[in-house]
Amino acid sequence: MNHQTEKHIIVTGGAGFIGSHLVELLLKLNYYVTVIDNFDPFYARSTKEKNRSSYSSHPNVNFLELDICDESALSLHLQAEYFAIIHLAAKAGVRPSINNPIPYQQVNVAGTQNLLEFARRKGIKQFVFASSSSVYGVNKNIPWKESDGLLNPISPYASTKISGELMGHVYSHLYGIRFIAVRFFTVFGPRQRPDLAIHLFTKKILSGEPIDFFGDGSTRRDYTYVEDIVNGIVGALHYTSTNFEIINLGNSHTISLKELLSTLESVLQKKANIQVYPEQPGDVSITYSDISKAKNLLAYNPVTNFHEGIQKFIDWFVQQ
């Protein structure tokens, strides 16, 4: 692998849903990418192997199966000079974090600290951190602006993402690392995690299995297509104007759970069999991003609408 420092990037979580799309884009832009993933058993290793098959034989990729919590392994295996770290690796999922919070703290907080320490020691000056819309918690000011402050997170997962942002501020302030936290709003598209609603619903509609439908269907999400998200991440990678920023990456358009279901039924041409349950703890009634800051600072411009994105997801799903 050729090494030009200004073109060599570490991507953590690069075998995941968003990570694999990001690595593909970085390679198209002629970056050298060292990918770190530990194949966390949250979902099947085979799924992640499939995710990364699109880039695994590329000459400009170095793939390392490493755990970000293992500081000595990071130091041992990451010997090159790097321009930036894009840190996507995390224990994911709001609901699972309520049932089992401790590993979320270990991976999302201590793991992020390890990477920041690594960046400090190696003199890496650009750090892009995948945060989440869940940090806003119960926030009545909609659409959500980065300046709203961290009002009331309602899950351990959300609190770990806030911790990551705060730690980034510390390292930015003390060591001059440029830290850009990008808050993702409900990302969807081909390779979406199997535990997420669109993937789960599609699978169950096609197989005729009952769908667990929480609440009355009025909860709304700001669904953002994965290609738009990775373009936003690359925008954050190139951002140099200030040393610390928190930036929403969403679509600024909300879709209700009822609308989601009817869109899937219409594209699949099959009715869903639903079982209604009460709303789940840790879930918020709406996520809705104000993306004016991303447009302004990163020239971010989401172009894929919900229906088009669903069609692309289903085309991919059926091919699988």
pLDDT for res 3: 55
Q: What is the pLDDT of residue 149?
A: 74
Other Cβ atoms within 10 Å of 102 Cβ, number:
10
* CA–CA gap between residue 23 and residue 37 (Å, rounded): 12
Question: Using an 8 Å Cβ cutoff, are 58 and 30 in contact?
Answer: no
Is 277 a domain residue?
A: no
pLDDT digits (tens, 9 = 90+) for 31-55: 999 999 999 988 899 999 999 999 9
Residue 152: per-residue pLDDT: 81
d(CA 199, CA 140): 29
Q: What letter does residue 134 receive in the DSSP assignment?
A: G
Q: What is the pTM (predicted TM-score) of this model?
A: 0.95
Residues in the chain with pLDDT values less than 50: 2
User: Residue 159 falls within a domain, yes or no?
Assistant: yes
Structurally, how many domains does the chain consist of?
1
Q: Residue 233: inside a domain, yes or no?
A: yes
Asked whether residue 164 is domain-assigned, the answer is yes
- Is 157 catalytic? The answer is yes
Query: Domain range holding 176?
Result: 5-185+223-251+290-302
Token digits of residue 256: 């209700």
pLDDT of residue 162: 96
| 149, part of any domain | yes
Query: What per-residue confidence (pLDDT) applies to 22?
Result: 98
Per annotation, catalytic residue among 157, 171, 223, 225:
157
pLDDT score for 4: 61
The pLDDT assigned to 186 comes to 96
Where do the H-state alpha helices sit in the chain?
17-28, 45-52, 71-77, 94-99, 101-104, 111-122, 156-175, 197-207, 226-238, 257-268, 292-298, 306-319
Q: Residue 139 maps to which CATH number?
A: 3.40.50.720
